[in-house]
Structures are given as structure tokens and as C-alpha cells.
Amino acid sequence: MEADFVIVGAGSAGCAMACRLSEAGASVLVIEHGGSDAGPFIRMPGALSYPMNMKIYDWGYRSEPEPHLGGRRLATPRGKVIGGSSSINGMVYVRGHACDYDTWADMGADGWSYADVLPYFKRMENWHDSGHGGDPAWRGTDGPLHVSRGKRDNPLTRAFVEAGQQAGYPVTDDYNGERQEGFGPMEATIWQGRRWSAAEAYLKPALRRPNCDLIRAFAQRVVISAGRATGVEVLRGGRTEVIRARREVILAASSINSPKLLMLSGIGPAAHLAQHGIPVIADRPGVGQNLQDHMELYIQMAATQPVSLFKYWNLFGKARVGAQWLLTKTGPGASNQFESAAFIRSSAGIRYPDIQYHFLPIAVRYDGKAAAEGHGFQAHVGPMRSKSRGAVTLASADPKAPPRIVFNYMSHEDDWRDFRACIRLTREIFAQDAFKPFAGHEIQPGAAVQSDDALNQFIREHAESAYHPCGTARMGRADDPMAVVDPEARVIGVEGLRLADSSVFPQITNGNLNGPSIMVGEKAADHILGRAPLAPANDRPWIHPNWETVQR
């Protein structure tokens, strides 16, 4: 059991690296604890609320009681399946804003500015404009990752963009192109009516090569001898084995499991490791720190016409949708139903968007519980750059014990101000003429919830994770004491060990994190192979010319 490269985790970044490394002729073994992604709940985009609530596909992590959210423990789903979280996510595809990556570079991730990463986004994409406009020059069309747009044939989906325009916001044809700011169509990793996960895009083609294999096992720690990573200790079929790496071990096990594995291997904050009786190999105080996430609220409205997806929300309707999808890969089941989106700025003086909208033509929760009132619609809205920071730490030195996760959500005063702004701006959008034919009363928060105190109470009770954890092994310069990996994804202080997944993000990016995580895997593969990175791009993204003085 040995290969040139041993990758821990068949998720978004791990699949991309397995493909690129094996394509270059290296032998690759991918270790994944989860099982097959073959079920209809994963393949069918419309069934997205199921897999993330199924123990078979999810690690089942929860946060510790969150001190600023009344002690609530929040679900923290991470994919335990081939394809990782790209097999259980909402399939929304967002690159992030150009300024996000320029901020990374400013924070010490040299060579990861927007000009540096844009060529990798183009390399990975197979973008289908489907006649809805967009910025073809900014997009890739021959990569492995299919990116498409929904039909947008629901009148509510179109009304959302129209309402944004009526409220004075710009419209953007392509938030992944030159201009993120504005209202427009949402993009998804869906192709021919099926979820197009990192496993479909990268891992399955790689596994068809003789030099790439998948091993079903539970990784317990990295084996390090004389300061060099030489393999991974795994539990397989009840036995402990070591899978050896001739060249390098690469961790891509998620922003929750990657720092946990580092700490179990003796890489992390020395005092914390000592508490658990783990010998310290590299004292890296940043391991597990800098945990960030996006939170969101659902602003829900009742609909006065039967135009929402609620008509399918019964046994017969679900059976019909399921049957149509199984037979033809068409119909409501072929879409994640997030077909309109927006990125806006919460106030003047903010240079680029700090609020994201997912619009959904039904009033429903992530756990699949529909609003009792019937027809409705909702906007998922939340701030993009919370100043709150949490941590992933070990609960025990036993690899089987889940880690301790504290997001410390809403611990910064600005987060409350930003969330209140999200609610008030959303109400204004829903009050526009475009929604007049459809909008009934406000289901949630409810018209009576107006004062800052009342809104704060609603946020405390209802804010949820958007499931975008990142930042727990952040990238930076080798002399930065809080950095965990250098700009070539090498774990600082250990030879032959890399880490490439959303853990390395110095700061969270705008929007959903699957796209940026795959990009990290793509770019890290070039560093691992010792190749010169792709030539930087010169495209200049659009920034609102009057951002200093106007909000829209």
C-alpha cells in the first residue's frame, strides 16, 4: 500500500488533485472514509435537502453551544462520501469576488491574488451559457467541472431580479464574470439534470487510470519520521495499517477534519497537544484557529397565487417529480431551485459586495420542513465578511472522537448591525412592484419585528450556518507564526506534507465555497508537481465607481 502521493479526503480539493497528479503520471492513492455517491438523493439536484441530513453521507458534526446565539448547537455538515461536501451541498457555484483573492495576497498568500487564481478558475470550468448572457471571455469552456444555469421559468425567480432593479441595484449577467455586484441568474454544478460533483468531474476520470486508486479507510494520523511525513496511519476493516507516500502526503479532509488530523499528528498549538498527551512535532499555534463561516437567515413571504413549488410538497407531488427526474432527468428535480441570486453592498463606503442572496420560490427550511402556510417564497440572506472567529480543537486524543467546534458566531458587534441591514434591505426588495402580484404577508420574521432589539432576538433564534466553514489552517508566509501552510500549500515545519482545501483560506470568500475549494486543489497540484503556475490574467473586475458615497 504505497504511492508517490497519498491524499486524505475525496472532497472538492482532493478529487481535483488526484486527477491532476495522476494525469501527470504520478501514482496516487486517495483515502476516503465515506462510501458511494450512487444514490438518487445525491444525484438528483432537487433532493438536495436529503443528503446533508443523512448519517450515511455526513460526518454529523455539531458546534458546541454558541454563546451569542442563546447556547444553540448548530449543525455542521461535512460530506462523508465520495466527492465530499460537493456531493451533499446546494450545488451553487460562486468563484468569489476578485477583491477576496487580492486580500489573500495582502495577508501573505503570495501568488494567490485574483490575477493568479483566475486562470485556474478558467482551467477547471466547462461553462454553459445556455443563451442567458454572461461573460464568455472571463469563463472556461473545456474544463472538467460543468457549470450551468437553471431555466428560470418560475415567475417568482424572475420577479426577484426585477425587484432588485426597481430598488435601484444593478443587474449582472454573470456574477462569476467581470461584475459580481447586482442581481442576476445563479450558477450551479449541475449538468444534464444531475449533480456534477468533484467526484464526477475529477475523481471518476482519475480512477480510470492505472496509477490512481481509492482506499476506503479512516485516517487516524500522519506518520512523521525525522521531521518528514512518510505515510498515513489508517483504520481499515478493524485493523490499523500504514499507507506509505514515496513523495508526499496531502491532507484535503475539510476545514474541520484537516486541522484535527494535523493535531493528532503532533502539528498544532503545543500547549493544546500536551493537554491531550500528544508529542509535539511542530508547534503551529494557528492550527484549528481562524475558523470562519457564513451565516444566513430566511426572509419568508406568503404568496397570494399558487405559483411556488409548494404544489409539489406532498407525497403525490414528490413522487411525480422523482419519477420524471428518474425517467428523463428533467422537471423540478433537475434543478436545485436556486436560480436567481444577488450580491450587494450593505452601505456606502464598502468597496465590494458584503451581502449575498439565494432566492428560492418556496418557503422551506434546509431540513426539508415547509412553511405550514402553503405557497410562499424566501430569500436566504447573510453578511459575507463576519469579523467573528472561532476554532476547531481536539476533544480527545482518540481519532474517533469528533473535534470540538466553536464558531463563536455573532461575537463581534458589527455582525449584528450587518444582519439587521440584511433584513431591512430584503424587506425593501420584497416591497417592490415586481412582487405586488405575488406577495402576501411576511411569514418570517413577521411585520411586527421592527426594532433593533426585536431583530436581534430574531437573529439570535433563527440565524443558521450556510455551511461554509474555512480558514483553520491558513496560508501565509513561512515566517508568520499563525500561518499553517506556505503559499505552495506546504505545512510549515514538516517536510513532505501539504494541505489543500478550504482550511487554507486566509479569509472567507464571497458566496459558496465549493468553487474556491476546487480551485485551491487545481492550483496546489501545480505547486506539488513543481510546475510554474499558470500566467496571471490581466482582466480588471468591475467595482462600483461611486462605492465610497452610494450603497447602490
Give the start-to-end residue ranges of the domains of the chain. 2-39+198-236+252-289+470-508+520-528, 151-185+295-383+411-462
Q: How confident is the model at residue 30 (pLDDT cuts 50, 70, 90)?
A: very high
Quote the percentage of the chain above a pLDDT of 70. Answer: 99
In the predicted structure, residue 262 carries a pLDDT above the cut 90: yes
Nearest to 452 by CA among 413, 479, 491, 486: 413
Q: What is the pLDDT of residue 51?
A: 94
- Per-residue cell: 480: 508568520
Measured distance CA(363)–CA(370) in Å, rounded: 6
Catalytic residue among 68, 294, 468, 544: 468
Number of H helices, E strands in the chain: 13, 25
In the predicted structure, residue 23 carries a pLDDT above the cut 90: yes
In the predicted structure, residue 368 carries a pLDDT above the cut 90: no
Q: Residue 287 is which amino acid?
A: V
Measured distance CA(399)–CA(218) in Å, rounded: 9
Asked if residue 90 belongs to a known ligand binding site, the reply is yes
- Per-residue cell: 493: 515545519
For cell 465590494, name the residue.
352
Q: How confident is the model at residue 373 (pLDDT cuts 50, 70, 90)?
A: confident
Q: What is the pLDDT of residue 130?
A: 67
Mean pLDDT of 340-352: 98
Q: What residues contact residue 466 under an 8 Å CB cut-off, 6+ apart? A: 293, 294, 295, 296, 380, 382, 512
Asked if residue 381 belongs to a known ligand binding site, the reply is no
DSSP 465: E
Q: What is the pLDDT of residue 116?
A: 98
DSSP labels for 327-369? HHS-SGGGS-S--EEEEE-SSTT-SS--EEEEEESS-B-TTSP
Measured distance CA(156)–CA(188) in Å, rounded: 19
Element (H, E) at 145: strand 145-149
DSSP 88: T
Domain 151-185+295-383+411-462 is found in CATH 3.30.410.40: yes
In the predicted structure, residue 541 carries a pLDDT above the cut 70: yes
Q: Please answer whether residues 425 and 356 qualify as being in contact, where contact means their C-beta atoms are separated by less than 8 angstroms.
A: no
Measured distance CA(9)–CA(523) in Å, rounded: 17
Measured distance CA(64)–CA(73) in Å, rounded: 6
Give strand pairing partners of 29: 6, 213
pLDDT in tens, 236-247: 999 999 999 999
Q: Please answer whether residues 492 and 484 qualify as being in contact, where contact means their C-beta atoms are separated by less than 8 angstroms.
A: yes
- Per-residue cell: 247: 513523495
For cell 405575488, name the residue.
438
Asked if residue 91 belongs to a known ligand binding site, the reply is yes
What is the Cβ-side half-sphere exposure of residue 423, based on CA atoms within 13 angstroms?
26
What is the chain's percent helix, strand, coil content, to nearest 5? Answer: 30, 25, 45
How wide is the angle at C-alpha 325 spanned by C-alphas 188 and 131, nearest 5°?
40
Mean pLDDT of 53-69: 97
What is the torsion angle, in degrees rounded to the nearest 10, for the CA atoms of residue 212, residue 513, residue 287 and residue 408? Answer: -150
What is the torsion angle, in degrees rounded to the nearest 10, for the CA atoms of residue 52, residue 54, residue 56 and residue 58? Answer: 30
pLDDT in tens, 480-537: 999 999 999 999 999 999 999 999 999 999 999 999 999 999 999 999 999 999 999 9
Mean pLDDT of 61-88: 98
How would you classify the pairing of strands 212-216 and 28-32? parallel
Q: Please answer whether residues 492 and 483 qualify as being in contact, where contact means their C-beta atoms are separated by less than 8 angstroms.
A: yes
Greater confidence, 112 or 313?
112
- Dihedral sign for Cα 60, 522, 229, 22, please: positive
Give catalytic status of residue 544 as yes or no: no
Q: Please answer whether residues 129 and 141 qualify as being in contact, where contact means their C-beta atoms are separated by less than 8 angstroms.
A: no
Q: Name which CATH class applies to 2-39+198-236+252-289+470-508+520-528.
A: alpha beta
Q: Residue 174 is which amino acid?
A: D
- The radius of gyration of the chain's CA atoms, rounded to the nearest angstrom, is 22
pLDDT in tens, 127-170: 997 666 789 999 999 999 999 999 999 999 999 999 999 999 99
**Distance, first Cα to last Cα, the chain:** 58
What is the torsion angle, in degrees rounded to the nearest 10, for the CA atoms of residue 328, residue 329, residue 332 and residue 335? Answer: -160
Mean pLDDT of 378-405: 98
pTM: 0.98
Average pLDDT of the chain, as a whole number: 97
In the predicted structure, residue 26 carries a pLDDT above the cut 90: yes
DSSP 504: G
Q: How confident is the model at residue 204 (pLDDT cuts 50, 70, 90)?
A: very high
Quote the percentage of the chain above a pLDDT of 90. Answer: 96
Asked if residue 92 belongs to a known ligand binding site, the reply is yes
In the predicted structure, residue 81 carries a pLDDT above the cut 90: yes
Q: What is the pLDDT of residue 72?
A: 97
In the predicted structure, residue 369 carries a pLDDT above the cut 80: no
Q: What is the pLDDT of residue 133?
A: 79
Mean pLDDT of 241-254: 98
Q: What is the pLDDT of residue 292?
A: 98
Q: What is the pLDDT of residue 364?
A: 87
Q: What is the pLDDT of residue 523?
A: 98
Measured distance CA(389)–CA(289) in Å, rounded: 8
Q: What is the pLDDT of residue 526?
A: 98
User: Collapsing DSSP states into helix, strand and coil, what is residue 275?
Assistant: helix
- Per-residue cell: 253: 479532509
Q: What residues contact residue 335 under an 8 Å CB cut-off, 6+ apart? A: 45, 46, 150, 151, 188, 190
Asked if residue 44 belongs to a known ligand binding site, the reply is no
> Residue 410 — left, alpha, or beta (φ > 0 → left; ψ -120 to 50 → alpha)?
left
Q: What is the pLDDT of residue 192?
A: 97
From residue 326, alpha-carbon distances to 43, 83, 190, 197, 322 in Å are 10, 21, 15, 18, 6
